Amino acid sequence: MKKSTFWGLLIAANGLLQADNGIWLLNEFPRAAVKAKYGFDADDTFLKKLQLGSVRFNNGGSGSFVSGDGLVFTNHHVGADCIQKLSTKEHDYMKEGFTAASRATEKPCPDLELNVLLKIENVSEKVKGVVPAGASPAEAGAKRRSAMSAIEKECADRTGHRCDVVTLFSGGQYHLYEYQKYTDIRLVFAPEKDIAFFGGDPDNFVYPRWDLDIAFFRVYEDGKALKPLQYLPWSKQGVKKGELTFVSGNPGSTGRLSTYAELELQRDLSLKLNLDRHDGFIKALQEYSKQSPEAARVALEEIFGSQNSYKAISGFLSGLKDPKFMEKKKAEEKALRAAIAKDAEKQKLYGGAWDELEKISRDYAGFYSSMMVFENMPGQYGTLLPIARQVYRYAVEKQKPNGERLREFSEANLASLEEEMYSAAPITASLEEAILAEYLRFSVKVLGDKNQVMIEVLGGKTPAQVAKEAVAATKLMNIEDRKRPAASAAVAGSESDGLLRIVRLLEPEARKYRKMYEDQVQSRQSIETAKIAQAQYSLGGNVYPDATFTMRVSFGPVVGYKDAKGKAVDWKTDFAGMYRHATGVDPLVLPAKWLERKKFLNLKVPFNYVTTADTHGGNSGSPTVNTKGEVIGILFDGNIEGLPNRYLYTEEQARSVHVASQGIVEALRKIYQADWLLKELGQ
């Protein structure tokens, strides 16, 4: 690797030899650097095993095949959406846990999709080649989106697989990801939430930690347990101090390549607004939960999701508010720009990118709040409002040519969209009322009480009144009543339905601001961000793209650290520490069987542990493997010190947190007596 001429790219380029930085593409993994530092060659065979043995959960997580009979291993909090939907007032599997007595009693998830990555193809030239010379950024963006939809459709029609064109470097590259898609997914085992999320929100993103954040599912195909192309065998020995680990999964998003101006926009506007949004949502649902035990049960997963997001965003913001952190980013950017300026040709090609991105950020700041309220949030609040908008947009978009549709409604995406839109998962009307009311309340707070659209939506009533009336007047609780308006734009546009009425009122503004984003922000960013990536490559930088909820591989050893006070934090926790940490008061309450069967446990067995692997949201559920490709744990969290790694990797204190494979075996054998499951795992 060519030596970088500026210190700011030390981590991105040569710093790999000093730090385990990187969420690496499978087809651009830094084998030589890993071998030089650790003496292990992560060759094509090893990486292919990780690729085919790993799975992506369409609800935002990761997992892996761990047996030849389609057994899938993931986090409890990744599987919780299914677990919650399968629960009832009589059988609360979140509280009680679930163990299938036989394969016949494994419970089908109502709307879960898993993807296995089969192939990656660089289609950058196909996407960029459709843009004529002299096209405006907006015209170029539209051409590229149309080309992406066409490539996906051709791939899906030819292979029968799920095909996604993924944008890397904000448009510097485009890769076609071909997946085998599975939709018959059944719950096999889940522990009680009190042990899966032991310590609750106060311990979230905190280490030391003692969580059995695991769940097992099984994939079926044609009514039979799947024989996967690859599965990752369970280690007999378990994790060991100091050993090199690999984490394969689907990190959701990062901002490593963001410019200083873009980080300022996040610090001063977008992160603050999203913190406020989650804060209001949490408070509204906590108030709703007080109505009854059943209300608390159905709201549990919504609250957990928002609490998790709130804490994560708080960590991101803490990094951006740290003057030293921001100065480091500024110095990094300054050094790169100075290195470019030394070469007249490079300066001509790349030098203006940072100034342009600063202008783009200013433009985006002018309408970010409206974009968030009208376009983003209706797909993020509850179940009914997102379904209503999906139904309406499905009807409108499907009548357009494939290349002119909104990207998520392209022909190749429709099958997955329909499965989600027509899900049979239970919906609680009173919960949806509370969620819709909070969306309307927050929207008025952000936009002001003079916003004409919100005035029309509310019609002089309170958000709570409008929400109650809208849910009472919707037919979308019923799947067949979703299909009727989805099949006709005319029906969707005129149906007397409480939620469709709200969607129709929001839609003109939503489309206006989405178009502004695509034309004035996204299309311009794709040009300028690509220049910066090209500039880094031109100076010898081996740069990886920011996360895109697609397959990446990270690595790092099992090693402790020193906290802010200089105190050594061990690489592992054990069962003894968990029992000491328990108080018997929520959220430090252990399930009854963990108290009853404590005497059978070896309390010194490792339970949770930490590594320097570079992981992020979406990696939850990723398998943690040793150099033999054996499962030695599962990624479920990061410590609070690691959250600013979203923007700039450090490993002094930042750590990824995993459940130890030997701790899982100990719990399955001694607490749950799940010998049949252990046998399938080869234990």
Distance CA 22, CA 41 (A): 17
Closest CA to 19 of 659, 658, 671, 649: 649
434 and 528 housed in the same domain: yes
Q: Which of 156, 182, 208 is the last residue of a domain?
A: 182
355 and 484 share a domain? yes
What is residue 538's predicted lDDT score, i.e. its pLDDT? 86
Residues 383, 358 share a domain: yes
At residue 541, the pLDDT reads 66
Is residue 573 helix, strand or coil? strand
- If you write DSSP's letter for every residue of 577-611 in order, what string do you get? HHHHH--SSTTS---HHHHHTGGGS-TTSEEEEEE
Residues 85 and 201 in one domain: yes
Q: Which of 182, 201, 222 is the last residue of a domain?
A: 182
Domain count, the chain: 3
- Look at residue 440 and tell me if it is in a domain: yes
Both tokens of residue 236?
A: 């007999």
Q: How many CA atoms lie within 13 A of 669 on its CB side?
A: 16
pTM for the full predicted model = 0.94
The pLDDT of residue 6 is 33
Written as six digits, the tokens of 610 are: 């930490």
Which residue, 536, 558, 589, sits at the end of a domain? Answer: 536
For helices 271-289 and 429-447, the axis angle rounded to 10 degrees is 150
Q: Note whether 207 and 105 are same-domain residues.
A: yes
- Tens of pLDDT along 114-136? 999 999 999 999 999 999 999 99
Residue 75 lies in a domain: yes
For 237-254, letters b (16+ CB in 10 Å) and e give: ebbbeeebbbbbbbbbeb
User: What pLDDT shows up at residue 540?
Assistant: 76
Can you give the pLDDT at residue 632? 98
Is position 642 within any domain? yes
Residue ranges making up the domain that contains 139: 115-182
Q: Do 189 and 290 belong together in one domain?
A: no
State whether 597 and 644 are in the same domain. yes
> Does a structural domain hold residue 34?
yes
Q: Could you tell me if 246 and 343 lie in one domain?
A: no
User: From the CB of residue 322, how many other CB atoms can be counted at a distance below 10 Å?
Assistant: 12
Does a structural domain hold residue 162? yes
Residue 17 pLDDT? 44
Claim to verify: residue 119 and residue 266 sit in the same structural domain: no
The pLDDT assigned to 12 comes to: 39
Burial-class residue 223 by CB neighbours within 10 Å (0-12, 13-18, 19+).
Answer: exposed
- Is residue 135 in some structural domain? yes
The reply to whether 501 and 363 lie within a common domain is yes
pLDDT, averaged per 10 consecutive residues of the chain (683 residues), comes to 33 50 93 95 98 96 98 98 97 98 97 97 96 95 97 98 94 94 98 98 96 98 98 98 98 94 97 98 98 97 96 96 94 94 96 97 98 97 97 98 97 96 97 98 98 98 98 97 98 97 98 98 93 86 86 98 94 98 98 98 98 97 98 97 92 96 98 98 98
Structure tokens at 103: 């394969």
Q: Is residue 2 domain-resident? A: no
Using CA atoms, how far apart are residues 610 and 201, in angstroms rounded to an integer? 19
The CATH number of whichever domain residue 594 belongs to comes to 2.40.10.120
Q: Are residues 503 and 527 in the same domain?
A: yes
Which residue type does 140 have? A
- Same-domain pairing of 223 and 317: no
Judged on CB neighbours under 10 Å (0-12, 13-18, 19+), 534 is middle
Residue 1 lies in a domain: no
pLDDT computed for residue 18 by the predictor: 58
Amino acid present at 76: H
